[in-house]
Amino acid sequence: MVRTRGLEDYAKEQGDIGVFLTLTAPGRMHARQSKTGEENPNFCHVTPRHVHDYLNTVWARTRAQWARDGIRCYGVRTVEPHHDGTPHWHLLLFVAPADRKAMLKTFRDYALQDSPSEKGAWLRRFTFKTIDPEKGSAVGYLAKYISKNIDGFKADGAPVEDYDFESSDTKLAKIHESAVRVGAWASSHGIRQFQFIGTTSVTVWRELRRLKADQVEEGLRAYVEAADASNWGDFVRLCGGPAAPRKDIPVCTHREARQNRYAEFVKVTKGITFRPTGEIVETRIHVWTVGSAKHGDMPSAARQAPRVAPWTRVNNCTGIAPSLAKTLSAEIILHQPPLPTLPPLTVPPGRFFPDWIGMLTNQASPPLTS
C-alpha cells in the first residue's frame, strides 16, 4: 500500500492518469458457468496455472507492443480466482494522458486475439475504468482487492488452527476465511498474487531502510531519509522516475560472491552502492551459520576437519573415482553387482517389429507393404 500510494503521488506530479483494468480468460478455460455454477460443457480441462500462463502471454505481447510504440506504463497487478478457481487479473496502471487511448486499444486487441467472436467477449474479457481523482484515489480502488487477499489475520498472534470458521457469522470471519482459501489457491498453483510493474527496485529501498541518515555521506542522505520516512514517491523521484534505465539509477545493490553449503559460489546482497561518489555502504554486517545446538560454540572435529566436495545421493556415475577410493575404507565402497543375463529376444514370424528390435537381433526390418 505504501508503494502504491507513492506511485500515485508521483503520477500526480507528472500529470499522469490512473486506469484500472481487468483481464479475464476465454470461456472455454472456465470450469463452471458464472451465473448458475453448473459445469461448463465447453471446458477444455486446463488448470489455473495454465490459465495464468495464458494471461501472462497476453500481457507479454501487450508490453512488447507498448515498447515498440513508445508507451510507458507503471503500476501494480493483482491476481484473484473466480468462484471456480480460474484466475483473472486486476491492474492499476499510470500512463500519460496522450497515450491512454493507444494503450487501451493495444491491450484490448491482444486480450481478444483468442476467440474474439465468443458470446460476451467484448463485454467481459477486457474492461477498464479511468480513475477520477474527484471521486476517489487509485489506492482506494486497489485497497479492495488487496484486503481480500491480505486481511491482517494473525496480527494479534492468534494461531490459525485456533480459529473457528464454523461458529462465527460475522463479516470479518468471512473475510478471514476467504483470505485463507485464496492463499491456499495461490500456493497450490504457484501463482504470484501481487507484482509491481515498471517501477524502481524495492531491494534498494529495503536495504536503505536498514540505515540512518547520519551513517552515510551527504549525497546519499536524501535516499535514506525518503526510505526511512516510507515515502516511495520521493524515492522514485530521486531515482529518476519509473522510466529511468537501470544502469542510470544512482543507487544500486552491492553484492559479493560467497560459497554456500554446497561449495557453490553465489552472489549475496551485502549493501548498496552510490554510483556518483562510488560509496559502498554495508547494510548486512552479520553472517549467519548453521551450528550444532548440542555442542554450542565448543570446537568440534567436524568444524576443524578440512572441507571436502559436497556429496549427494543422486549420482549418475557407475563407479568410484580411483583418487576418491584411496581415501575411503573398504567397508564404505559398495561393489557394483554384475548385470543379469537377459534372455534372447524372439520375434514371432510374420509380425512387423520395430527397428530397435531388429538392431538387437541383427535382423533387417521387413519392407513396408501397402
Residues 195 and 142 sit within 8 Å (Cβ to Cβ)? no
> Looking at 54, 145, 163, 262, which residue is catalytic?
145
CB neighbours of residue 300 within 10 Å: 12
CA 333 and chain centroid, separation: 43
Find all residues with CB under 8 Å of 266, minimum gap 6, and list them.
Answer: 257, 258, 259, 260
Radius of gyration of the chain from Cα atoms?
30
> Looking at 10, 141, 163, 262, which residue is catalytic?
141
End-to-end CA distance of the chain: 71
Cell numbers placing 46: 486446463
Q: Is 141 a catalytic residue?
A: yes
Find all residues with CB under 8 Å of 359, minimum gap 6, and list them.
Answer: none
Cell numbers placing 22: 481487468
Cell numbers placing 231: 515515502
Residues 143 and 136 sit within 8 Å (Cβ to Cβ)? no
From residue 279, alpha-carbon distances to 218, 220, 268, 282 in Å are: 11, 9, 18, 10
CB neighbours of residue 48 within 10 Å: 23
According to DSSP, residue 160 is labeled: G
What is the identity of the amino acid at 358?
G
According to DSSP, residue 214 is labeled: G
- Tell me how far apart the alpha carbons of residues 288 and 278 are, in angstroms, rounded to a whole number: 28
Sheet strands (E) in the chain: 17-23, 74-81, 87-95, 126-130, 194-197, 251-259, 265-274, 279-282
Question: Which residues face 127 on adjacent strands?
Answer: 22
Q: Is 145 a catalytic residue?
A: yes
Find all residues with CB under 8 Å of 221, minimum gap 6, and list them.
Answer: 213
Tell me which residues are annotated as active site. 141, 145
